[in-house]
Structure 1
Amino acid sequence: MKALWMFPGQGTQKAGMLTNVEADYLNKVKMITNIDLKDNIEGYHSTVQIQLSILILQIYQIDKLNSLGWTPSIVAGNSLGTFSAAYAAGIITMEDVIELVSIRAKMMEKLYPSGYGMGVVIGLEREDLGAVINSLQAKNEIVFLASQNAEMQNTISGERRAITEVLAIARKMGATKVQLLDVPTPSHSPLMKKISDKVEELVGKMKLNSPSCLYFANYSGHSETSLNKIRYDLSHNLEYPVLWNSMMDIGLEYRPDVSVEFSPGDILTGILEKKVKSIQSIKLNYLSVEDADYILSKLKRGFKK
Structure 2
Amino acid sequence: MSTIDEGVRSMSTAFLFPGQGSQQPNMLHNLPDHTAVKETLEEACDLLSEDVLLMDTEERLQSTITVQMSLLIAGVAAVRALKAEGVTPDLVAGHSIGAFGAAVCAGVMDFKEALSIVKLRGELMERAFPSGYGMGVVLGLNESRLASIIEKYSSLEDPVYLANINSPDQIVISGAISGIEKVLKSVHSNGARKAKILDVSVPSHCKLLKSVSEELSARLRGVNSKQPAVPYAGNRNARPLRDKTEIIKDLTLSISHPVRWHDATSVLYELGARLFIEMPSGHVLSDLAKSAFPYARTFALSEGSITSAVILYDREKGTNG
**TM-score interval for Structure 1 and Structure 2 normalised by the shorter chain:** over 0.9
Gaps of 5+ in 1: none
Contact 2:233 2:267 survives alignment (8 Å): no
Deviation at 1:89, TM superposition (A): 0.6
Partner of 1:12: 22
Count of aligned pairs between the two proteins: 304
Deviation at 1:23, TM superposition (A): 4.7
* Matched-pair identity in %: 30
Deviation at 1:209, TM superposition (A): 0.8
Of residues 14-23 and 176-185 in structure 1, the stretch that sits farther from structure 2 once superposed is: 14-23
- Answering whether residue 194 of structure 2 is matched by residue 184 of structure 1, we say no
Structure 1 counterpart SS, 2:25: coil
Match of 2:146 among 116, 129, 144: 129
Distance 1:297 1:232, change over 3 A: same
Q: How far apart in 1 are the matches of 2:311 and 2:142?
A: 41
User: How is 1:254-293 mapped onto 2 (pairs within 5 angstroms)?
Assistant: 254-293=271-310
Q: How far apart in 1 are the matches of 2:115 and 2:62?
A: 19
Deviation at 1:81, TM superposition (A): 0.7
- Answering whether residue 221 of structure 2 is matched by residue 204 of structure 1, we say yes
Q: How far apart in 2 are the matches of 1:149 and 1:191?
A: 20
Contact 1:33 1:102 survives alignment (8 Å): no
- Answering whether residue 36 of structure 2 is matched by residue 26 of structure 1, we say no
Code of the aligned partner of 2:44: V
- Answering whether residue 96 of structure 2 is matched by residue 86 of structure 1, we say no
User: How is 1:1-305 mapped onto 2 (pairs within 5 angstroms)?
Assistant: 1-21=11-31, 22-37=37-52, 38-138=55-155, 140-304=157-321
Gaps of 5+ in 2: 1-10, 32-36
Q: How far apart in 1 are the matches of 2:133 and 2:320?
A: 48
Deviation at 1:35, TM superposition (A): 4.7
Deviation at 1:265, TM superposition (A): 1.6
Deviation at 1:194, TM superposition (A): 0.8
Structure 1 counterpart SS, 2:303: coil
Q: How far apart in 2 are the matches of 1:138 and 1:157?
A: 13
What do residues 100-123 of structure 1 show as CA deviations (whole Å, max 9, x unaligned)?
101111111111122111000011
Distance 1:29 1:109, change over 3 A: farther
Structure 1 counterpart SS, 2:240: coil
Distance 1:249 1:299, change over 3 A: closer
What do residues 152-207 of structure 1 show as CA deviations (whole Å, max 9, x unaligned)?
11111111121111111112222101011111110000011111111111111111
TM norm structure 1: 0.95
Contact 2:138 2:171 survives alignment (8 Å): yes
Contact 2:236 2:250 survives alignment (8 Å): yes
Q: How far apart in 2 are the matches of 1:185 and 1:250?
A: 28
Contact 2:15 2:279 survives alignment (8 Å): yes
Q: How far apart in 2 are the matches of 1:181 and 1:209?
A: 35
Contact 2:233 2:265 survives alignment (8 Å): no
Q: How far apart in 2 are the matches of 1:298 and 1:128?
A: 42
Code of the aligned partner of 1:11: G
Code of the aligned partner of 1:55: L
Deviation at 1:262, TM superposition (A): 1.1
Contact 2:72 2:115 survives alignment (8 Å): yes
Pairwise CA RMSD: 1.6
Deviation at 1:140, TM superposition (A): 3.7
Structure 2 counterpart SS, 1:6: strand
TM norm structure 2: 0.90
Q: How far apart in 1 are the matches of 2:294 and 2:154?
A: 40
Q: How far apart in 2 are the matches of 1:70 and 1:139?
A: 49
Code of the aligned partner of 1:99: S
Code of the aligned partner of 1:19: H
What do residues 233-275 of structure 1 show as CA deviations (whole Å, max 9, x unaligned)?
1111100101111112222111223111111121212222222
Q: How far apart in 2 are the matches of 1:276 and 1:132?
A: 29
